Structure 1
Amino acid sequence: DMFDCVMPTRNARNGTLFTSFGKINIKSARFATDRAPIDPQCDCYACRNYSRAYLSHLYRAGELTFFRLASLHNLHYYLNLMRQMREAITAGEFEKFRRNFYAKRGKDAPSI
């Protein structure tokens, strides 16, 4: 299951990409020469085939290809995140999942 939301594609159109360690904004100059994939832990088409530098170039050039690749990546990220959540819930380990999710982003998990 996946919640019905335009957030992954809307953020992609604005240059924001979701990763296993937090969000990045491809508009940042630091990505202009970055040969790494969007997220080294992601196996989506965009991450397997294109660098942050190339995606940064596409974004700055206004190429439609960027918006497709970024949307594909963000949707893949959220579908994978929901799958991981379901698996953690089924295994009775959601609290562990939640703590790890925030830890990878350098944050403490908020209390619930």
Structure 2
Amino acid sequence: MGDHTTSLATVSAILAALYERERTGEGRIVQTSLLASGVYLMGSDMSVQLKMGRLASVRSRDNPINAVANHYRSSDGRWSRAGCARTSGLRRSGSSWRWR
């Protein structure tokens, strides 16, 4: 996860530097850090941990905040992760989730 985030930060920095060079004619040094990206990614969870002394989320897989951002076992016993950015039409119906 950190490698992907760091690569996105690197690409973004390179594109911003190229855009600036195009506009001003001056180059820029670009640098990224795997550690800095990891700290940024974990910042919210670490803040909760340090301030309140507990984990940011202790919800079980059976009681998710967002049903489409969870791990599911398929009929052949393998696990997969579902993810969806937009969940505004999602409602709980009994023991399952349904789109409105």
Q: What TM-score does the superposition give when structure 2 sets the normalisation length?
A: 0.31
**Structure exhibiting the larger radius of gyration computed from Cα positions:** 2
Q: What TM-score does the superposition give when structure 1 sets the normalisation length?
A: 0.29
Q: Which has the higher contact order (CA 8 A, sep 6+)?
A: 1
Q: Which has the higher helix share?
A: 1
